[in-house]
Structures are given as C-alpha cells and as structure tokens.
Amino acid sequence: MAGAPLERLLPGDRVPDVRLHGSDGGRTLHAEFAGAPLWLLKPSSATVAASLPEVPKGITALCVGAQAFPGTAAGWLSLGADARWLELFEDDVLWLADANLRLQQEQRLPSSHAPLPARMVEALGADCTLHAAPVLQIPDVFERDLCRELIRHFEVDCAGGEVSRVLVMEGGAQTLQLDPSIKQRRESTPRDPALEARMHERVMRRALPEIARVFNFPVNRRDSFKLLSYPAGAGYFRAHRDNDTPDVAHRRFALSVNLNHGDYAGGEFRYPEFGPHRYSPATGTALVFSCGLLHEVLPVDRGIRYAVTTFLS
C-alpha cells in the first residue's frame, strides 16, 4: 500500500518535497523550510508576484514558479520549481502550511485577510517529555464533514453498531464473548462502499506517507475499518496490547481517528508504560502507535466518543 498519488493538494495534505532553485543556488523544501509556519504561493504572473501581502513576523513566505519572478514583493523568497510539482497548486491561492509542511488554510488573492498560524503551543518541560509515549499524531486525516458523515452512517445506516466482544478460548476453541472487565463499546464495519473508499483514500494520502517517514515502515496491508462509539458510563477499553494473540500477531501499527473531539468528556488514550499522560486528538486527527504498546481508552464520563480504527502491517 503506497501513498495515493496526488492530483491537487487539499487542506490536510503534506506538501511533497521538491528541489527549489533561485539566484543563490538550489534549496530543498523539506530540508530548509520545515520547522516553522510557511506561506506558499504560485502566482499567475510577475504582476501578482510584485503585489503580494506583507509577510508577518515568524512566517517564511515562498513565491514559486517555473522560474524565479523578478521584482517579487518584499519579504518573499522567489524560487523556481519542477513543473509537475507546480501542477499540485492552483494559481494565485495563498496557502498556510504548518511547521510540518502540512497545508492548513488557503485564501485566493487578492485578499485582505491572509491565513495566519494558530496560537503557538507552549513547549513541554523535560519532566513531561521524559515520559511521553512514542505515538504519532497526524492532523486532518479526515475532514470535519467526513467525520460528521461517519457518525451519521454509524448511528443511522449501521443502527448504532453492536456491543463489542472479545475473543476468548473456551473448550479449546476461540469464541467471541461479552466481557465488561476488558471493554465496553459499540462497533460496526462501514456498510457504504463509497464512504469506505473515501476513508481509505484519506489514509493512503495523508497517513501512510507520514508513517513511512516517521517510523521508516512501508505499510502493505490494512485491516478492515471499524466505526466505534464509547457512550458515557459504558465506554472504555482496559489496558491491552493489539498484537499479543496469534490471530492478530501480524499487526504492526494501530491507527485511530477521533470523530468528535469536544463533544464528550473522558475517553482519552493512556500508555501506562510511558507515564500518566492522556492523549485526546482533535477531530479528524489520527493517532498512530505500535501495536506492542500497552494502552487503554479511559472511561467516557459525558457524551459519546466516536472514532474509527484500523490496524496496519
């Protein structure tokens, strides 16, 4: 399973790497411009390039084209790029990318309200990072509209799913049984092939390239998606590992996408081998971690937590 080929970049996509060239020689996008907020624009003409918005402090601004534009507005770096890479961008659309070169917002020019970064996150102290679990969070794998559609599909088309069961050995045979000492939640596989195809495309496009880059692991197989709900008072999954029985020993990474962060309380992930910290990704964000990590989903105290999960190998 390789990452999906891109025709045009969308919010949530990470900008592919490219060799940029200008009057001062060549530069590589990922090597030289990651790590801080970035404006990125492909102007349709030298006239547009000369009248670009003023660049705020703390933002690097790149004006890219088939070749560097002379007379580009002050504060902008004018660089040339490969034609196939340029085709990923629409003319005269100003993009804001985050420090990981993931596209956040777009605004067509001319504009009086250019996109700006969200509030900076305060750095964790050494006492916290010492105990941080080795997990990857990938924002915007699913758009909010897709998250809402998946919740509707689960509740309406899948009739709210079925109570989740666990695989146990009984009389020398494996059987599925209810076991509230291990977990309580409801679940269903998607029943709409078109909706499942959208989910698959987003994971291929946005999650797999990040997993390959961060973990140096090429994903070749994906288990079926599961739609999940964790209701208040009856939603939790006690500490467990995702690959410690023969039927799931092939699993390498778990991928879980939160669908409605903020609509519930509790329900966070916790990795007790790596300290007390709780992880509650934003809506549409994927949490990816090794299936060998001990982890739990804490009880939901209010509302219903909806999520999608799958396993990668």
Give pLDDT tens digits for 97-109: 999 999 999 999 9
Closest CA to 254 of 290, 305, 221: 290
- The pLDDT tens digits for 201-218 are 999 999 999 999 999 999
Could you give the domains of the chain? 19-108 (3.40.30.10), 126-312 (2.60.120.620)
Residue 95, Cβ density class (10 Å: 0-12 exposed, 13-18 middle, ≥19 buried): buried
pLDDT at residue 120 tops 80: no
End-to-end CA distance of the chain: 10
d(CA 148, CA 167): 31
Tokens 């509302």 label which residue?
303
Which of helix, strand or coil describes residue 221? coil
The confidence score (pLDDT) of residue 80 equals: 96
Tokens 């679990």 label which residue?
133
Nearby residues of 39 by Cβ (< 8 Å), 6 or more positions away:
55, 59, 60, 61, 62, 94, 95, 96, 97, 114, 115
pTM across the whole model: 0.90
- The pLDDT tens digits for 154-169 are 999 999 999 998 877 6
Question: Largest alpha-carbon pair distance within the chain?
Answer: 80
pLDDT band at 172 (very low <50, low <70, confident <90, very high): low
Which of helix, strand or coil describes residue 312? strand
The confidence score (pLDDT) of residue 82 equals: 95
**How far are the Cα atoms of 15, 104, 206, 250 from residue 243, in angstroms, in the given order?**
33, 35, 24, 7
- The DSSP string of 239-306 is EE-SS-SGGGTT--EEEEEES-TTSSEE--EE-GGG-S-EE-PPTT-EEEEETTS-EEEPPEEESEEE
The confidence score (pLDDT) of residue 280 equals: 97
Tokens 């770096």 label which residue?
77
293 within 8 A of 239, measured Cβ to Cβ: no
Instruction: Specify the higher pLDDT residue, 47 or 25.
Output: 47
